[in-house]
Structure 1
Amino acid sequence: MDHEGRTFLLRSALFLLPLLLLFVYTESFLRNIPSTYGIKKSALERQLKDIEVLALGASHTFFGVDPALFSRKGFNLADQSQSFFYDNALVKKYAKEMPQLRCVLLDASYFSLGYELHDSPEVWRDYFYYNIWGVRHPELTLDSRAYSYLMLYTSQSALGYLLHGAPSWSELDETGWYRVDVGSPVTTVRGKERVAYHSGLIREENYAKNMEYLREMLSMLKGRGVGVGIVSPPTNEAYYQFLDPSVERKNEALFGGLCQAYGCLRFDYSRDGRFTALELFRDNDHLNALGAEKFSTILDKEVLPKICHE
């Protein structure tokens, strides 16, 4: 190689080296910042041997169920946009390590049976389940987001975290519950928009998939002597007045069939008259901390005694 060639390689190396070091530093930084997934995983694994009640589901349970108010040791394993595939996968992964598990609360929202995280606008969450929980959706493409946290968080978010710090998720406590005290206004306009968004998440082909996930989970839990309550959390009238009755009837028929086959019980609080006050909601279809306190107390009194097996 002549002198010019060596000079070019040297200059290229000097140019690329800082970029490589920056990438390595950023990747390491992002892998070590807290996320709800990582925090929940660590908290769950510290308490596996003692948990008696496990709450599963998406954001309605994530924000709306505080296991600290249960008379039994509980843990909230729900997360934002979590679908039945992940509920089932996480139960399969950990049930054998939970000798005290007596009952499971399963979130059943309006759109749950027709919804899959994998084909939703929040498909990026699949990669957090893969990277942190070690759970892979069967249709997940292992692209750069499966191997690089920089690709997963995106360069824009990474830069923001580097400059201003990452979120601490201090509202997420040891029981897995995420506390929210304030939120957006509850209005009929927003309620109609939320129902339209949720209706848009429903895919006909997802019903069969979700029923299979639920059958597998319910069969396994029944075999372990674990009781299950399929629970619809409270929503505000500004939300539920716009729900499609045909979707609701289909939901009830399918959930009813599951409970008949596997011995689970169905509890629908979505229109419960005890949750009319606006100060109980963070938005049209999610409870805030005050609402979560009330709902969790009701669950402890009305649901757990019926499903928790000794």
Structure 2
Amino acid sequence: MKKLLSHISLFLIPILVIWILAEVFYRTVPNNYTYKHKQISNNTDIEVLILGDSHTFYGINPEFLSLKAYNLSNVSQTIYFDKLLFEKHIKQLSKLKYLILAVDYTTLSQADNTQEDIWRKYFYESQMDLDVPLIKWYNPKKYSLALTRKFDKTWQTCEEYHNKGTLIGCDANGWGNTYLSTVDSVEMNRLAHVVAKKHEDGSLDFSLNTERIQQMIDLCQSKNIQVLLVNMPSVPEYVSVLNAEKWQKIDAVCQLLETNNSNVTRIDLLEDKRFVLKDFQDADHLNADGAKKCSLVIDQYLNKL
């Protein structure tokens, strides 16, 4: 029996050590979640708040907006978390005048607790101080970030920290400042198909996420805040292989939200000809130069409102 327990201990101890090290790593090393939570909590005088996924995270740079702005977008951030973040911080943002909200191909159709939300939700709750209804009290991952991701993903994150010396991929204004390359035109057609396939969930049910946007609009209306619904730029090769019926429905929802709400302005930059290949990091993300161009375009709208 003692021999059996000894063998079990030899097996379990390394696992326990790895788990503890991973937990300490996630709890102590600053990342986009911890950094943005700290920044937005200390920037209570901002006038423009930017929400959305990686398209706005990399694509809208507050530096080029006339008013004081903060980019609270993040990679793979869904409307579900946009709404939770907005509702958490709106009370302290007494000077907020404008909310910029991205509506992209996946925004309206993505179901809750799918794709990267499966693990990211734990980081929003733990590191951005959100109450996330998707997470039940009896879920062990609620109490251990090391359990939320597969070991190979944790290892990759550790390697990234070792190589770069940081996990923070944004500047003091929340803008994702690491997209500095230009997409390869030779690879564009193949890349566009790969990205489009990744983004297609096959759903045309927009009801839940449209309602969430409407609730955010209503909250803004009650506080005299203008809402800018932005369709971020993408390369033509990417747009051409998306489901046309779905985009027409997305377009119709955006138009309806603008028509039915006096505090909403829709900015459709999806196929805007001002954005050329050199402005893109890949098929659907702007690089730093493209972000500057996009931010200046949006600033023109802000100055007109």
- Give the TM-score category using the shorter length: 0.7 to 0.9
Asked if 1:152 is matched to 2:148, the reply is: yes
CA distance in 1 between partners of 2:241 and 2:84 (Å): 32
Structure 2: stretches of 5+ with no match in the other structure: none
CA displacement, residues 245-290 of structure 1 (integer Å, 9 cap, x when unaligned): 21122112212222222220111011111112x2210001110001
How many pairs does the alignment contain?
A: 298
**Residue 182 of structure 2 contacts residue 278 of structure 2 at CA under 8 Å; is this kept in 1?**
no
The CA deviation at 1:192 is 2.1
The CA deviation at 1:155 is 2.9
SS in 1 for 2:74: coil
Asked if 1:260 is matched to 2:259, the reply is: yes
CA displacement, residues 222-250 of structure 1 (integer Å, 9 cap, x when unaligned): 10000011011111111112222211221
CA displacement, residues 27-75 of structure 1 (integer Å, 9 cap, x when unaligned): 223211122111111111121x210001111111011000011110001
Match of 2:229 in 1: 230
> Which amino acid in the other structure matches residue 279 of structure 1?
K
Asked if 1:72 is matched to 2:67, the reply is: yes
Match of 1:274 in 2: 274
CA distance in 1 between partners of 2:168 and 2:80 (Å): 27
The CA deviation at 1:137 is 4.3
CA distance in 2 between partners of 1:26 and 1:196 (Å): 33
Q: 1:28 to 1:214 in 2, by over 3 A?
A: same
Match of 1:284 in 2: 283
Query: Counterparts of 1:76-225 in structure 2 under 5 Å?
Result: 76-116=71-111, 118-141=113-136, 143-159=139-155, 165-166=161-162, 168-179=166-177, 180-182=179-181, 185-186=184-185, 187-200=188-201, 202-205=202-205, 207-225=206-224
> Which amino acid in the other structure matches residue 274 of structure 1?
R
> Which amino acid in the other structure matches residue 268 of structure 1?
D
* Deviation larger for 19-28 or 233-242: 19-28
> Which amino acid in the other structure matches residue 195 of structure 1?
A
CA distance in 2 between partners of 1:103 and 1:31 (Å): 33
Over the matched positions of the two proteins, sequence identity in percent amounts to 28
Asked if 1:305 is matched to 2:300, the reply is: no
Q: 1:92 to 1:163 in 2, by over 3 A?
A: closer
CA distance in 2 between partners of 1:80 and 1:37 (Å): 10
SS in 2 for 1:112: coil
Q: 1:208 to 1:64 in 2, by over 3 A?
A: same
Q: 1:39 to 1:229 in 2, by over 3 A?
A: same
SS in 2 for 1:114: coil
CA distance in 1 between partners of 2:252 and 2:161 (Å): 48
**Residue 126 of structure 1 contacts residue 136 of structure 1 at CA under 8 Å; is this kept in 2?**
no
The CA deviation at 1:101 is 0.3
> Which amino acid in the other structure matches residue 53 of structure 2?
A
RMSD across aligned positions (CA): 2.7
**Residue 82 of structure 1 contacts residue 117 of structure 1 at CA under 8 Å; is this kept in 2?**
no
Q: 1:120 to 1:14 in 2, by over 3 A?
A: closer
CA displacement, residues 56-106 of structure 1 (integer Å, 9 cap, x when unaligned): 111110110000111100011111111111111111100010011000111
CA distance in 2 between partners of 1:59 and 1:164 (Å): 19
The CA deviation at 1:220 is 0.3
CA distance in 2 between partners of 1:219 and 1:178 (Å): 29
**Residue 75 of structure 1 contacts residue 176 of structure 1 at CA under 8 Å; is this kept in 2?**
yes
**Residue 227 of structure 2 contacts residue 265 of structure 2 at CA under 8 Å; is this kept in 1?**
yes
